[in-house]
Amino acid sequence: EKRSLFIVPQPSSFLLFFSPFSFSTFSIFFFSFLFLFLLLSISPPSTETPNMPQLFGVSHMGYVYLATTLLSLSLVYRTLTSQTGSVSTFLFLIFVSWIAASFGVITMGFFSLCGVTESVLGKNEKGIPLWSWAFFWPWLVPVNLFWHISCAVQNSKGENISDEVFKNIYVGRKPRSSKDIPPNTKLIIDLTAEFPAHPSILHSSQWEYVCCPSFDTMVPSYPQAVEATWRRMVKEEGVIYVHCAFGHGRSAAFAAAWMILKGHAKDPKEAEAMMKKGRPSVHLNGVQQAFLKKHLQMVGKVN
């Protein structure tokens, strides 16, 4: 038997998994989705352009997460069928499986599949529990990271943390600490499901903190919680601070509801136009407009 005079090194199982074709394909898909995620996170849809498509009552971010889930699942399948058994491959399998699982559950929440809602994150008046961070870190970590980047971009554009959109009601982004809260605030409405509130906000006796969580660009899933929050807002005679991630959509929707319920505006469009005078970046997408119309019809405030 003849043997080659040259010793050809065998590629490791990890490099074998990333063949030239699969690696280039993975790179294209991964960085495309990463760029799209960054673009949508840092530059939300302009308030002067038409709404981005909302199919099946789901905002654009739901489809970004769906694409990320499908990409992760394809990598899981590619790893399982690679017929390699190295430690690096096993660790990579765990990593992409974790991403697929966390983004998959979040996607189910956006599409309201199998009864999954924003409550799956477990956020309440005490914050986001540790078990939620442990499972959803592939989603929570980049979302929180991109929020800091987005805030830096918005600061460079001269956007305020919060603005008074009507007398005694402020709309704004998530406050980093109690220093970001508008003066004389008596009630804080937190509409984020993805961010923990700062301890200085949770433990202060200067105001009442109410958490009514929802996914970014979406609306809360529980009508009873929504109506209870609205009743509390209408009852408050002092300054109210309503915030979401950036102070553009979710918070504006609740401020619009307050304005309509108090008789300051007749419908969501008028409320949005009035709020834009104080905070030009306010924008109600299709999902939020339909949400307002549905819930305000239930209390007889809009036709």
pTM: 0.80
Q: Mind listing the pLDDT tens digit for each residue in 247-265?
A: 999 999 999 999 999 999 9
| pLDDT of amino acid 298 | 73
Domains of the chain: 13-116 (no CATH), 160-298 (3.90.190.10)
Least confident of 41-45, 49-53, 90-94, 248-252: 49-53
Q: Mind listing the pLDDT tens digit for each residue in 127-160?
A: 999 999 999 999 999 999 999 999 999 999 999 9
The DSSP H or E segment spanning 60 is: helix 60-80
Least confident of 22-26, 157-161, 202-206: 22-26
DSSP 67-116: HHHHHHHHHHHHHHTS----HHHHHHHHHHHHHHHHHHHHHHHHHTGGG-
| High-pLDDT (> 90) share of the chain, % | 59
Numbers of helices and strands, H then E, in the chain: 10, 5
Strand intervals (E) in the chain: 162-166, 169-172, 185-192, 208-214, 239-243
Quick one: 184 exposed, middle or buried, by C-beta within 10 A (0-12, 13-18, 19+)? exposed
Closest CA to 171 of 92, 251, 85, 117: 251
Overall average pLDDT of the 90-100 stretch? 92
Q: What are 127's two structure tokens?
A: 């914050």
